């Protein structure tokens, strides 16, 4: 049992100290058993405080450290590293969260928040008394990366990995690579065509020895974990199955276009209502006149935010690329065909950054911009053989305006892939918008909670091409850093089976969400064995064990019971 | 005053120690490359370390920046020069560059300084504090800000009266007036430019009255008023110290405005203003906050939801561009604007106005290259030579750009851009090994 624990209570600027009396917390815990020193600090994570902690650990020979601050998701690693730098095994560090769990949650009750913080810190101290030094598991990392999805993001990530001398497998479901971008003509803002852009990238890729491209291919099985993923890839049309062994998986599975519902702005009811991708194709394929169903098109009405920023539907997010894409496409139409009039029915144009220049150009070219009120979207209706788009227009002082359109283009946004089987296979978490979710938008923007699996491009959320490529390169950097050294350290916090108590009833294996538990013969019977590199230490197995044969390292009964005693009794 | 030039060599030179430069340095160093990080300010962390909370998650900026900064400053493969500038970069071969780096004297031995602040107390000179965006004063002997890295004093020699009070007060004798400019000749194999952006100076728009009316401040000043390390420990208007209760935001100040030479959108102002409005609603629950806008551009992941949340909290959004701001006797401000929804010109009284200033290019990087041309785009940001396929490539092979040096972007995009620059720089280093 520890006798020299150092406790640090963080103000977090005012994030904690505005609601929790941190000095009172400090006084309440300084005489707890095993505590040698207790201090408060403005920012525990700041460089200067980290240095002070290192000095304390060395000078006072601390055998345990507790920091009471924000969520461990943010700074558990930070403070473990502080311990390690001071020569104290990092698993002697215990984190108490008094921000998300006290100050922020109880900002209406300062006394209660302070009381709760005191309990939480005391519980952390109770746990730390029995904390043990542990060593990380060191595993071999296969120096190869599987890139799932061969669109612009996947191809670019593969190219970057190949340039870093890392073998790459591109696994593309379609019969050819290039994804959406390969289908497009001139792109904003460089005006290079999508076909050329993909061709350029493809040429580089096929000349690289490090890259193997599988098309018509699908991952059908995923076993293993970071450093050693064992994938089964099924190749159409023969159904041949290949084994692919990689250290990291990079997801670049892209998006689906939103499909309007029948009748949504006349879609599928009125014959000259199309979507933006349909329209892009028309412009690409068209001859010297823009024709639709035998009629020449002159007046085009673009209805923005179809399937995005929905007040009633599920897609509350902005699809980010569509304003600029529409304006760019409308300009192309005008340049290619004579006598085109573009009418933009917007909800506020979002040509952010330098894309603003396109909006300005379009306005100069005479495109008409209208904007609807948020509670009164434009209406598309058939009047005889005419298609009329009606709007209550903000920009002309709320006037009701009508445009007779030869073609109505619904600017459809991005939605997550309807077929999420590959996401399910890797157990990737999704955000509220149903796209794959990163761990932290700013600290770990391309990493997922599944170690070794990175995400990039539009499978993570709407992005334009440049943004997709930036994220693809970031993900390549991250995936590379997992595999580049050939070895990896993983958390030693895993489940531990007491073979004397285990009777192999299969309950733990069924409870495990990561398939980390399997059966192995032991003596005359069988017991459960844990695959340490797959086990995430989630603890699902421990409570279901009828013989109490499973313990989670760092969450032993005496640690947990110590915490419960303090929380229950104060 | 100059001692002899020193020769040093690294794999990569990263110019700019803000969030993009720092992220790039870390990525490179974590993959085994040796990096020299040059920062012209006295602390790394760029503009982000000075922010309050960041959208759309409302994480406190310090909570994200300080551990990164700490990791950067501790990394054995990263060497940091603060208070330093690159004066020239010459390409000498396929993967070889030479840079001249000038390290200005801090007049403090950083290793010996404990950050005790006794020199600050002793110093008799008060000047405006640039790290609090002139809201308050600081001394000529000063620690830049409480979470600065390195957290060490510096002497502002321009304003110092050489009285020697700080030297006497310093318990570790770390103040050294004999320090001189040091010049380094740095050999590197690749260069990443992460020189960031400049904020629009609202003095350029006299009709908004910035600099004339005390209660018209910039969004960066409000950012400081809301930060945990805030100067006043509460939000107040600088004119008379009154707590404001009718606050206005003027979006697109210096953006989307050809008349001030900046026709493009700054990409971040809508969101940071919405964020500040949310924070103000928390800090001053009784205050009314109005945002005057042309278009709200909440385009990123979780941004639209953040905008809707602000509306739900009661932030008042008015579509209209401000024509003119004038001051009343009680130092309140009259805003004349066109209410676009109603199609009429209106006036509104507010007791504090925040100008949401835009992002301008930092053109310093272009001057560094003498033998090669670093191309700039129409708006004077560093030109991306292959914007769609390799967004971080510049007109010079082996020189990459990260973050807002190539155009306006928010923090998540800057970090991804830094990831891209790191990847390209690593490929370049490995390919030309």
Q: Does A357 touch chain B (CB under 8 A)?
A: yes
Place of tokens 């100076």: B201
Min Cα distance A341 → chain B (Å) is: 24
Give the per-residue pLDDT at A556: 87
- Chain A stretch 65-94, residues whose beta carbon is closer than 8 A to a beta carbon of chain B: 70, 74-75, 78, 85
Question: Per-residue pLDDT for B43 more than 90?
Answer: yes
Average pLDDT over residues A197-219: 96
Q: Class of the A495-553 domain?
A: alpha beta
Domains B1-105+180-196+362-433 and B106-179 share a fold: no
Query: How many CB pairs lie under 8 A apart between chains A and B?
Result: 222
d(CA B31, CA B258): 44
CB A107 within 8 A of CB A113: yes
Give the per-residue pLDDT at A359: 97
Condensed to tens digits (0 to 9), the pLDDT of residues A327-359 reads 999 999 999 999 999 999 999 999 999 999 999
Query: May I ask the CATH architecture of the domain A5-134?
Result: 3-Layer(aba) Sandwich (3.40)
Give the per-residue pLDDT at B1: 46
- Chain B stretch 347-376, residues whose beta carbon is closer than 8 A to a beta carbon of chain A: none
Query: What are the distances in angstroms from CA B408 to CA A415, A465, B24, B256?
Result: 26, 16, 18, 12
Q: Which of B57, B147, B430 sits opposite A441 (nearest CB)?
A: B57
Three-class secondary structure of residue A23 per DSSP:
helix
Interface contact A352-B54, CB threshold 8 A: no
Interface contact B388-A74, CB threshold 8 A: no
Q: Give the residue from chain B lying closest to A156, CA to CA.
A: B389
Give the per-residue pLDDT at B3: 56
Average pLDDT over residues B304-330: 96
d(CA B120, CA B236): 25
Q: Which of B295, B344, B412 sits opposite A441 (nearest CB)?
A: B412
Instruction: Enumerate residues 6+ apart whose C-beta is below 8 A from A515.
Output: A223, A534
Condensed to tens digits (0 to 9), the pLDDT of residues B59-88 reads 889 888 888 898 999 899 999 999 999 999
Condensed to tens digits (0 to 9), the pLDDT of residues A435-445 reads 999 999 998 99
Q: Give the residue from chain A lying closest to B308, CA to CA.
A: A316
Min Cα distance A344 → chain B (Å) is: 15
Closest CA to B10 of B30, B24, B23, B29: B29
Q: Which of B63, B74, B304 sits opposite A45 (nearest CB)?
A: B63
Chain A residues within 8 A of B344 when measuring between CB atoms = 397
Selected residue of B43, B46, B58, B67 to mutate for chain A interface (largest A Cβ count, 10 A): B67
Residue A87: CB atoms within 10 Å: 10
Query: Residue A472 burial by CB count (10 A; 0-12/13-18/19+): exposed, middle or buried?
Result: buried
CB B260 within 8 A of CB B208: no
Strand-pair partners of B217: B354
Token pair recorded at residue A467: 């943004």
Interface contact A474-B423, CB threshold 8 A: yes
d(CA A47, CA B268): 28
- Chain A stretch 297-356, residues whose beta carbon is closer than 8 A to a beta carbon of chain B: 309, 316-318, 320, 348-356
Report the sign of the C-alpha dihedral through residues A86, A91, A92, A96, in that order: positive
Pairing of strands A217-225, A228-235: antiparallel
CB A389 within 8 A of CB A379: yes
Query: Rounded mean pLDDT of chain B?
Result: 95
Where are any strands of DSSP class E within A356-463?
Answer: 368-371, 379-383, 386-393, 399-405, 407-412, 414-415, 453-455
- Chain A stretch 486-505, residues whose beta carbon is closer than 8 A to a beta carbon of chain B: none
Interface contact B265-A396, CB threshold 8 A: no
Condensed to tens digits (0 to 9), the pLDDT of residues A465-474 reads 999 999 999 9
Condensed to tens digits (0 to 9), the pLDDT of residues A65-77 reads 999 999 898 889 8
Query: May I ask the CATH architecture of the domain A257-414?
Result: 3-Layer(bba) Sandwich (3.50)
Give the per-residue pLDDT at B2: 52
Closest CA to A535 of A485, A490, A505: A490
Min Cα distance A358 → chain B (Å) is: 10
Selected residue of A166, A318, A437 to mutate for chain B interface (largest B Cβ count, 10 A): A318
Q: Give the residue from chain B lying closest to A187, CA to CA.
A: B388
Average pLDDT over residues B28-33: 94
Interface contact A470-B419, CB threshold 8 A: yes
> By percentage, how much of chain B surpasses pLDDT 90?
89
Interface contact B391-A398, CB threshold 8 A: no
Give the per-residue pLDDT at A390: 97
Closest CA to A477 of A164, A143, A150: A164
Interface contact B63-A15, CB threshold 8 A: yes
Instruction: Specify the CATH superfamily of domain A145-255+416-487.
Output: FAD/NAD(P)-binding domain (3.50.50.60)
Residues of chain A with CATH 3.50.50.60: 145-255+416-487, 257-414
Farthest CA pair distance, chain A: 89
Condensed to tens digits (0 to 9), the pLDDT of residues B170-196 reads 999 999 999 999 999 999 999 999 999
CATH number for the region B200-359 comes to 3.50.50.60
Question: Per-residue pLDDT for A490 more than 90?
Answer: no
Question: Per-residue pLDDT for B51 more than 80?
Answer: yes
Q: What topology does CATH give the domain B106-179?
A: Alpha-Beta Plaits (3.30.70)
Q: Give the residue from chain B lying closest to A357, CA to CA.
A: B264
Three-class secondary structure of residue A192 per DSSP:
coil
User: Which letter does DSSP use for residue A280 in this model?
Assistant: H
Number of Cα atoms under 13 Å in the Cβ half of residue B186: 30
Q: Does B433 touch chain A (CB under 8 A)?
A: no
CB B392 within 8 A of CB B191: no
Of the pLDDT bands very low, low, confident and very high (cuts 50, 70, 90), residue A557 is confident
ipTM for the complex shown: 0.95
Min Cα distance B259 → chain A (Å) is: 14
Min Cα distance B392 → chain A (Å) is: 8
Let me know the angle formed at the C-alpha of B282 by B276 and B284, rounded to the nearest 5 degrees: 90
Instruction: Enumerate residues 6+ apart whose C-beta is below 8 A from A304.
Output: A322, A323, A326, A344, A345, A346, A347, A411
Residue B3: CB atoms within 10 Å: 10
Q: Give the residue from chain B lying closest to A45, CA to CA.
A: B67
Q: Give the residue from chain B lying closest to A392, CA to CA.
A: B341
Average pLDDT over residues B249-259: 97
Burial track B204-217 (b if 16+ CB lie within 10 A, e otherwise)? bbeebbbeebebbb
Interface contact A14-B228, CB threshold 8 A: yes
Q: Which of A13, A189, A474 sits opposite B228 (nearest CB)?
A: A13
Average pLDDT over residues B49-53: 95
d(CA A246, CA A225): 9
> By percentage, how much of chain A surpasses pLDDT 90?
85
Give the per-residue pLDDT at A131: 94
- Chain B stretch 16-45, residues whose beta carbon is closer than 8 A to a beta carbon of chain A: 27, 30-32
CB B382 within 8 A of CB B278: no
DSSP calls for A83-97 = HHHTTS-GGGEEEEE
Interface contact A316-B305, CB threshold 8 A: yes
Min Cα distance B2 → chain A (Å) is: 32
CATH number for the region B1-105+180-196+362-433 comes to 3.50.50.60
Q: Does A471 touch chain B (CB under 8 A)?
A: yes
Chain A residues within 8 A of B305 when measuring between CB atoms = 316-317, 432
Q: Domain residues of chain B, as ranges?
A: 1-105+180-196+362-433, 106-179, 200-359
Query: Residue B111 burial by CB count (10 A; 0-12/13-18/19+): exposed, middle or buried?
Result: exposed
d(CA A173, CA B363): 45
Average pLDDT over residues B375-383: 97
CB B37 within 8 A of CB B17: yes
- Chain B stretch 176-215, residues whose beta carbon is closer than 8 A to a beta carbon of chain A: none
Average pLDDT over residues B156-175: 96
d(CA A282, CA B18): 45
Query: What are the distances in angstroms from CA A326 to CA A333, A343, A489, B55?
Result: 10, 11, 48, 27
Of the pLDDT bands very low, low, confident and very high (cuts 50, 70, 90), residue B324 is very high
d(CA A548, CA A189): 63
Q: Does B420 touch chain A (CB under 8 A)?
A: yes
Chain A residues within 8 A of B31 when measuring between CB atoms = 477, 480-481, 484
Selected residue of A48, A320, A360 to mutate for chain B interface (largest B Cβ count, 10 A): A48
Condensed to tens digits (0 to 9), the pLDDT of residues B93-145 reads 988 999 999 999 999 999 999 888 999 999 999 999 999 999 999 999 999 99
Token pair recorded at residue A310: 């929905």
d(CA A339, CA A299): 9
Interface contact A354-B343, CB threshold 8 A: no
Condensed to tens digits (0 to 9), the pLDDT of residues A388-398 reads 999 999 999 88
Q: Which of A47, A309, A435 sits opposite B149 (nearest CB)?
A: A47
Q: Give the residue from chain A lying closest to B256, CA to CA.
A: A356
Closest CA to B96 of B161, B160, B186: B186
Q: Give the residue from chain A lying closest to B381, CA to CA.
A: A354
Question: Per-residue pLDDT for A533 more than 90?
Answer: no
Question: Per-residue pLDDT for A255 more than 60?
Answer: yes
Residues of chain A with CATH 3.30.70.3270: 495-553
């Amino acid at each position: 049992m520890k006798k020299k624990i150092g406790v640090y209570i963080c103000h977090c600027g005012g994030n904690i100290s505005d609601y929790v009396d941190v000095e009172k917390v400090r006084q309440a815990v300084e005489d707890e058993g095993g505590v040698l020193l207790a201090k408060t600090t403005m920012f525990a994570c700041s460089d200067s405080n980290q240095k002070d902690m290192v000095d304390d650990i060395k000078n006072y020979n601390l055998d345990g450290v507790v920091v009471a601050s924000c969520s461990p998701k943010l700074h558990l690693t930070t403070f473990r590293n502080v311990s390690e730098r001071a020569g104290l095994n990092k698993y002697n560090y215990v984190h108490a969260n008094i921000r998300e769990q006290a100050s922020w949650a109880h900002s209406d009750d300062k006394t209660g928040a302070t009381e709760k913080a005191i309990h939480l810190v005391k519980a952390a101290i109770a746990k730390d008394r029995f904390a043990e030094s542990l060593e990380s598991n060191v595993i071999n990392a296969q120096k190869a990366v599987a890139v799932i999805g061969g669109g612009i993001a996947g191809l670019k990530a593969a190219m970057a990995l190949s340039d870093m001398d890392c073998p790459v497998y591109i696994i593309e479901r379609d019969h050819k690579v290039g994804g959406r971008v390969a289908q497009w003509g001139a792109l904003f803002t460089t005006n290079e065509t999508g076909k050329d852009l993909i061709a350029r990238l493809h040429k580089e890729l096929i000349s690289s020895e490090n890259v193997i491209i599988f098309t018509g291919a699908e991952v059908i099985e995923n076993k293993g974990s970071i450093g050693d993923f064992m994938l089964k890839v099924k190749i159409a049309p023969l159904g041949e199955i290949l084994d692919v062994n990689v250290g990291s998986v990079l997801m670049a599975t892209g998006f689906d276009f939103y499909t309007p519902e029948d009748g949504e702005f006349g879609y599928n009811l009125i014959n000259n209502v199309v979507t933006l991708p349909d329209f892009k194709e028309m412009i690409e394929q068209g001859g010297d006149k823009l024709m639709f169903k035998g009629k020449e098109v002159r007046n085009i009405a673009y209805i923005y935010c179809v399937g995005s920023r929905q007040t009633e539907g599920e897609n509350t997010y902005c699809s980010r690329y569509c304003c600029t894409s529409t304006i760019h496409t409308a300009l192309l139409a005008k340049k290619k065909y004579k006598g085109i009039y573009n009418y933009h029915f917007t909800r506020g144009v979002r040509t952010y950054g330098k894309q603003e220049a396109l909006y300005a150009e379009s306005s100069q070219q005479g495109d008409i911009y209208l904007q609807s009120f948020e509670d009164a979207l434009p209406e598309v209706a058939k009047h005889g053989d005419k298609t009329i788009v009606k709007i209550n227009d903000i920009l002309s002082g709320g006037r009701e305006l009508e445009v007779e359109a030869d073609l109505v283009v619904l600017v459809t946004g991005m939605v997550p892939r309807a077929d999420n089987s590959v996401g399910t296979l890797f157990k990737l978490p999704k955000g509220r918008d149903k796209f794959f979710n990163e761990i932290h938008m700013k600290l770990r923007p391309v990493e997922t909670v599944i170690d070794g699996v990175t995400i990039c491009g539009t499978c993570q959320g709407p992005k334009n091409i440049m943004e997709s490529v930036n994220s693809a390169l970031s993900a390549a950097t991250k995936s590379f850093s997992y595999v580049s050294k050939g070895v990896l350290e993983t958390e030693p916090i895993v489940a531990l089976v007491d073979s004397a108590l285990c009777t192999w009833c299969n309950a733990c294996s069924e409870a495990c969400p990561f398939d980390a538990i399997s059966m192995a013969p032991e003596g005359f019977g069988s017991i459960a064995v844990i695959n340490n590199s797959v086990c995430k230490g989630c603890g699902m197995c421990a409570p279901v064990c009828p013989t109490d044969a499973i313990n989670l390292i760092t969450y032993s009964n005496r640690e947990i019971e110590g915490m419960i005693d303090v929380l229950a009794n104060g | 005053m100059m001692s002899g030039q020193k020769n040093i060599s690294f794999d990569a030179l990263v110019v700019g120690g803000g969030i993009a430069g720092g992220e790039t340095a870390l990525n490179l160093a974590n993959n085994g490359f040796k990096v020299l990080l040059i920062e012209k300010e006295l602390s790394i962390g760029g503009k982000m370390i000075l922010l309050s909370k960041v959208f759309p998650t409302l994480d406190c900026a310090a909570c994200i920046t300080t551990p990164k900064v700490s990791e950067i400053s501790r990394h054995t493969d990263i060497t940091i020069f603060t208070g330093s500038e690159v004066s020239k970069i010459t390409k000498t071969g396929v993967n070889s560059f030479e840079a001249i780096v000038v390290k200005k004297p801090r007049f403090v031995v950083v290793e010996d300084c404990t950050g005790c602040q006794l020199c600050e107390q002793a110093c008799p000179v008060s000047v405006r504090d640039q790290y609090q965006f002139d809201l308050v004063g600081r001394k000529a002997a000063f620690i830049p800000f409480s979470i600065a890295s390195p957290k060490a004093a510096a002497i502002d020699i321009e304003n110092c009266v050489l009285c020697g009070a700080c030297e006497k007060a310093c318990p570790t004798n770390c103040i050294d007036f004999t320090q001189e400019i040091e010049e380094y000749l740095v050999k590197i194999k690749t260069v990443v430019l992460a020189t960031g952006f400049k904020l629009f100076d609202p003095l350029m728009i006299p009709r908004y009255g910035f600099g004339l009316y005390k209660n018209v401040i910039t969004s960066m000043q409000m950012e400081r008023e809301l930060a945990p390390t805030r100067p006043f420990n509460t939000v107040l208007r600088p004119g008379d110290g009154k707590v404001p209760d009718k606050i206005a935001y003027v979006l697109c100040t210096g953006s989307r405005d050809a008349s001030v030479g900046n026709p493009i959108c700054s990409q971040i102002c809508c969101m940071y203003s919405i964020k500040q409005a949310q924070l103000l609603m928390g800090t001053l629950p009784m205050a009314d906050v109005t945002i005057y806008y042309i278009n709200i551009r909440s385009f990123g992941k979780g941004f639209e939801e953040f905008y809707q949340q602000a509306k739900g909290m009661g932030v008042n959004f008015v579509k209209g561009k401000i024509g003119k701001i004038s001051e009343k006797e009680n130092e309140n401000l009259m805003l004349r604007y066109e209410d676009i929804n109603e199609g009429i010109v209106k006036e509104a009284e507010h007791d504090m106005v925040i100008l949401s200033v835009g992002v301008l290019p930092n053109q310093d990087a272009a001057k560094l290259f003498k033998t090669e041309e670093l191309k700039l785009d129409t708006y004077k940001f560093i030109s991306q030579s292959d914007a769609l396929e390799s967004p971080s490539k510049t007109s010079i092979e082996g020189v990459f750009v990260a973050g807002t040096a190539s155009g306006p972007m928010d923090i998540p995009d800057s970090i991804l851009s830094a990831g891209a620059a790191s990847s390209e720089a690593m490929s370049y280093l490995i390919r030309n090994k």
